Copies of this chain bind each other. A is one copy, B any other.
Amino acid sequence: MNSFGFDLLHEDGRARRGRLHTRRGDVETPVFMPVGTQATVKAMYPETLKEIGAQMILANTYHLLLRPGHERVRALGGLHRFMNWDRPILTDSGGFQVFSLGELRKIDEQGVRFQSHLDGAAHVLTPESSIAIQEALGSDIIMAFDECIPYPASREYVAESTARSSRWAARCRQARRFDDGAALFGIVQGGMHRDLRAQSVADLLELGFEGYAVGGLSVGESAELMYEVMDWTMPLLPRDRPRYVMGVGTPENLVEGVRRGVDMFDCVMPTRNARNGVLFTSFGRISIKQARYLDDARPIDPDCDCYVCRHYSRAYLRHLYQSNEILSSMLNTHHNLHYYQRLMARMRDAIAADAFEEFRVDFLARRDNES
């Protein structure tokens, strides 16, 4: 069995071109992972995901432990086989969704007690059980169990929570089997406080992980503050390990993240927006539901070479959206994920050519030109 690894192939400024080695194949970085919450990237055949260049997807531990259940998935041959996806899968720890439950959850040193949003059944998630569940699913990159701190939060709460997440990270590391070729990533917390971010990094580095994520971003703070936290945190992380910013973000966020040395991203934005009729283009977003597209024979983005832009007009996509047709979600998701994959590919090429800054300036200049 191949073990996990990361090669830093090239640097252009702080932007990094790299390659993850996983037991299910290599992943070129920087990479964007489509989100497959309930063992499916919504409205996409797995084969179509591959066609548009998706290298790795994210699945949500919280949702899968509730339904269909991780032991069931294990018995059925693991998550990859269950959902017909043979490329790498990264699983989150379940913490993010559990902490979002509000009234339905209670946290203590041991872990989190919560009630299922589906049937109210009582569950407990701990660092140990989160790791065991992710192992049962057959995840290739396992995330440590942490608290994604809300924003805003008091400094006192952030400090307490971050210290607890560090203690949980140690328990996660202890709980890992480490004999299956999967990787375990630690997650930096610390809220919007520079010193607490630094303390969190120090705690994790002492434990040692195969990769490092930055959590607690894209929780309501401004883009400027998000970039500031990246600016504080990235330089503290080891150069030879992959860096993953969780739950981020817009195309602009991805470009600014890569600029600051981020290697991995995930976000529901391209898929969720697609189902709401919001489409990404080289000149910004468009909302396909608008009446202005009723007779528009043009593709979503004349600069896009995706299947959707080659075969369908804005008028047709507007019709499908208005008619609540399933194909609306299918085509919109297809286009948006292609947009994200192509953006990452172009960034990888730009870094390799020492032209990332040129790319970034050009990318930003094209935005907000209405069409």
Q: Which residues of A are in contact with B by a Cβ distance under 8 Å? A: 38-40, 42-45, 67-68, 72, 75-77, 82-84, 294-295, 297, 311-313, 315-316, 318-320, 322-323, 325-327, 329-330
- One complex includes copies of this chain to the number of 2
Q: Which residues of B contact A322 (CB under 8 A)?
A: 67-68
CA distance A238 to B365 in the complex (A): 67
- Is the Cβ of B67 less than 8 Å from the Cβ of A297? no
Q: Which residues of B contact A316 (CB under 8 A)?
A: 39, 76, 82-84
Shortest CB distance A80–B (Å):
12
Q: Which residues of B contact A313 (CB under 8 A)?
A: 76, 82
Quick one: given A316-B83, A319-B67, are A325 and B76 in contact (CB under 8 Å)? no
- Is the Cβ of A40 less than 8 Å from the Cβ of B320? yes
Mostly, the A contact residues are loop
A327 contact from B40, B295, B311, B319, Cβ within 8 A: B40
Q: Which residues of B contact A76 (CB under 8 A)?
A: 295, 297, 313, 315-316
Additional 19 contacts, C-beta under 8 A, given A42-B325, A83-B316, A84-B311: A38-B319, A38-B323, A40-B320, A42-B326, A42-B327, A43-B326, A67-B319, A67-B322, A67-B323, A68-B318, A68-B319, A68-B322, A72-B294, A72-B295, A76-B297, A77-B297, A82-B319, A84-B312, A84-B316
CA distance A295 to B42 in the complex (A): 22
- Is the Cβ of A40 less than 8 Å from the Cβ of B84? no
Shortest CB distance A97–B (Å):
14
Shortest CB distance A357–B (Å):
39
CA distance A315 to B40 in the complex (A): 14
- Is the Cβ of B315 less than 8 Å from the Cβ of A68? yes
- For residue A329, which residue of chain B has the nearest CB? B326
- Is the Cβ of B77 less than 8 Å from the Cβ of A44? no
26 pairs, A vs B, C-beta closer than 8 Å: A38-B319, A38-B320, A38-B323, A39-B319, A39-B320, A40-B320, A42-B326, A42-B327, A43-B326, A43-B327, A43-B330, A45-B330, A67-B323, A68-B318, A68-B322, A72-B294, A72-B295, A75-B295, A76-B295, A76-B297, A76-B313, A82-B313, A83-B316, A84-B312, A84-B316, A326-B326
- For residue A38, which residue of chain B has the nearest CB? B323
- Is the Cβ of B327 less than 8 Å from the Cβ of A294? no
Query: Which among A77, A83, A318, A327 has the greatest number of chain B C-beta atoms within 10 A?
Result: A327
Q: Which residues of B contact A83 (CB under 8 A)?
A: 316
CA distance A45 to B323 in the complex (A): 16
CA distance A320 to B44 in the complex (A): 13
Q: Which residues of B contact A77 (CB under 8 A)?
A: 297
Q: Which residues of B contact A43 (CB under 8 A)?
A: 326-327, 330
- For residue A319, which residue of chain B has the nearest CB? B68
- For residue A46, which residue of chain B has the nearest CB? B311
Q: Which residues of B contact A330 (CB under 8 A)?
A: 43, 45, 326, 330
Shortest CB distance A37–B (Å):
9
CA distance A329 to B324 in the complex (A): 14
Q: Which residues of B contact A326 (CB under 8 A)?
A: 40, 42-43, 326, 329-330
